[in-house]
Amino acid sequence: MTRFDRTLGATQTGIPGLVLWDLPVHGDNRGWFKENWQRAKMTSAGMPDFGPVQNNISFNDAAGTTRGIHAEPWDKFVSVATGKIFGAWVDLREGATFGAVFTAQLDPSQAIFVPRGVGNAYQTLEPNTAYVYLVNDHWSPDATYTFLNLADEASAIAWPIPLDDAEISAKDAAHPSLANVTPVLRRKVLVIGSGGQLGRALQQEFAGEAYVEFATRDDIDLTSAEFTTARPWRHYDAIINAAAYTAVDGAESTRGRADAWAANAAGVASLARIATAAGITLVQVSSDYVFDGTSDRPYREDDAFSPLGAYGQSKAAGDLAAATTPRHYIVRTSWVIGEGKNFVRTMASLAERGVDPRVVEDQTGRLTFAGDIARGIRHLLETAAPFGTYNLTGGGEPTTWAGVAREVFRLTGHDPARVHGVSTAEYFAAAKEPVAPRPANSVLDLSKITAAGYSPATAVDSLSRYVAQL
């Protein structure tokens, strides 16, 4: 009997991602009506915005019809149009919950969200039962399934109608036991731009993780027309875009401007289209240069863009493109220090060689070490933080570039007074090539990333550890 007293709501099960949903059903003397899938209401209530592309119906004549256990390479939203089922779900994904079982009876007033890799089976309890499911990928004869035997002793599913009395296909009856099932591997994470400063930090962060792939520019070039077909994108859960054109001053030249827009804007737009079509989470790394630096407070994630130069303009365009992807994290950072040549190494070298540098003292911000960005990105992905933009820099009190230089001199045992602070205009007064305008205030508000459970290391502490390793 269909229940008419439920309100829309979710019940978590013991299997991660498998969620039982109550659906309001409205009935009268004519029959009943329900919104089987209502994107706005359900995503607001916590349903993943999983992007269904195909709707299937399995009609079953008799009670006792039993189908499964199949783990499919897509997410499913399962409900009943008529009749009633006993459903059984077994986690067949690699991990601590492999083999976990959840069962429930479903009538038209309930539904269940089944994530990829969770085995799905049902047994009809009434004649003329219509079993309905939405999936977020099109069926393909080449799709890879993982199967489990309906009578598996380890799962010990208590079928209401004994399997000896049920209607089962020969194929389903021949599926393997749990001990012989190869777990479904998690979908992959692809890091693009793994040869750069952040890319190398991401390699260190995810070292030994078989599900993470790394691609250099030689492997995937965002400016190439061929990169959209460079991978079987449906196999990926997330793309971390660590590739970018970062020559801030070079972007002011005719050739540099075109290269910056090709990589930072057009390339990201192509990635966004791929991610949207394949249901992939896109992680895009942004910059303080999307702002003009005139604010008298730290910049928040929702502040309006106001880039000063070509580089900042191309990064802002890339952010707008990335934000069109339903599943996205835009990680905005500043003053990045990673492996290879960088400001801190340069200052340490000058200190050792007896050079007294002139360093800009009218730009304010916080250093951000590439390892902190990599850890923050991993945190957002693994905690399934709400999608959106997050500022991520080093923590603590802001300083100037001259202030950083003085601290490097102090940490390396040299007199900080050897660093002479100058204005940006003075520093670049003799420049022969075009110079990009710099934001005077690069300080980013860290409240949102902290509320998401990630507290960036204090910039001065990270600098001390970094210098000690030089």
Residues catalogued as catalytic: 70, 133
Radius of gyration of the chain (CA): 28
Q: What is the DSSP string of 226-255?
A: GGGGSS-GGGEEEEEE------TTGGGSHH
Report the SS3 class of residue 165.
Answer: helix
Place of tokens 């995937």: 220
Residues 6+ apart with CB under 8 A from 435: 249, 252, 428
First to last CA, the chain: 72
Can you say how many angstroms the Cα of residue 124 is from the centroid of all Cα atoms in its chain?
A: 38
Task: Check residue 263 and report its DSSP letter.
Answer: I
Place of tokens 């709501």: 9
CA angle 307, 312, 313 (to 5 degrees): 75
Q: What are phi and psi of 142, to 5 degrees?
A: -95, 0
CA angle 411, 414, 417 (to 5 degrees): 105
Report the SS3 class of residue 152.
Answer: coil
343 closest CA partner among 199, 197, 210 = 197
418 closest CA partner among 345, 355, 356 = 356
Report the SS3 class of residue 25.
Answer: strand
Count Cβ atoms below 10 Å from residue 86 Cβ, excluding itself.
Answer: 19
Q: How far is CA 232 from CA 21, 137, 158, 182, 188, in A?
A: 32, 13, 39, 22, 11
Q: Which residues pair with 66 in a beta bridge?
A: 123
